[in-house]
Amino acid sequence: MTGPGADGLSVTVVTSRVELEECWRIRFAVFVDEQDVPAEMEVDDLDTAVTTTHVLATVAGSAVATARLLPVEPGVVRIGRVAVAREARGTGAGRAVMEALHDVALATHAGPDGGVRVDIEAQEHAIPFYSRLGYALVDDRRYLDAGIWHRDMALDLPR
């Protein structure tokens, strides 16, 4: 997707089991170890579905961030499991994985008008991050998922 920048950060679409296991390693460190999400909730059948796209950000060969994209219907996708290793927070790795999945969404899941709506179930503490990427709250509803408060957000990506 993106070659190494001046900071050594690159993002690629996951194509192997080894890369997927790196995604899981980052997710477990963030969600299970840091946020106390039950381990049995972290990996699901969607992780290995042929329709799911994972991306992995690396710096100097070390995996630092990941996220996944799930198609909902033509022109609508959901991004989830966005995780950035503690040591890579604030480096642009989170933005890089999101932008990589935006590119994937437009290239492979566009609707009839060529655009895509991206939905995300945002942890409340991460709302400012998603807002900086252009996401907006869908409504006032908040809900607990794995013991963490979430809000629905969306972004329309025009072609």
For 103-159, what is each residue's pLDDT tens digit?
A: 999 999 999 999 999 999 999 999 999 999 999 999 999 999 999 999 999 999 998
pTM of structure: 0.91
E strand or H helix at 70: strand 62-73
Q: What is the pLDDT of residues 58-115, one digit of tens each?
A: 998 899 999 999 999 999 999 999 999 999 999 999 999 999 999 999 999 999 999 9
Q: pLDDT-derived band of residue 4, with 50, 70 and 90 as boundaries?
A: low
> Domain range spanning residue 129?
9-157
- Residue 19 is assigned to a structural domain of this protein: yes
> Taking every pair of C-alpha atoms in the chain, what is the biggest distance, in angstroms?
42
At residue 66, the pLDDT reads 98
CATH number of the structural domain spanning residue 147? 3.40.630.30
- Residue 25 is assigned to a structural domain of this protein: yes
- Residue 38 is assigned to a structural domain of this protein: yes
- Residue 24 is assigned to a structural domain of this protein: yes
The encoded tokens of residue 87 equal: 């040591």
Residue 67 neighbours by CB distance under 10 Å: 26
- Residue 2 is assigned to a structural domain of this protein: no
Overall number of domains in the chain:
1
Residue with token string 């329709």 = 51
At residue 6, the pLDDT reads 47
At residue 106, the pLDDT reads 96
- Residue 1 is assigned to a structural domain of this protein: no
Instruction: Please answer whether residues 97 and 12 qualify as being in contact, where contact means their C-beta atoms are separated by less than 8 angstroms.
Output: no
At residue 2, the pLDDT reads 54
123/154 Cα distance (integer angstroms)? 13
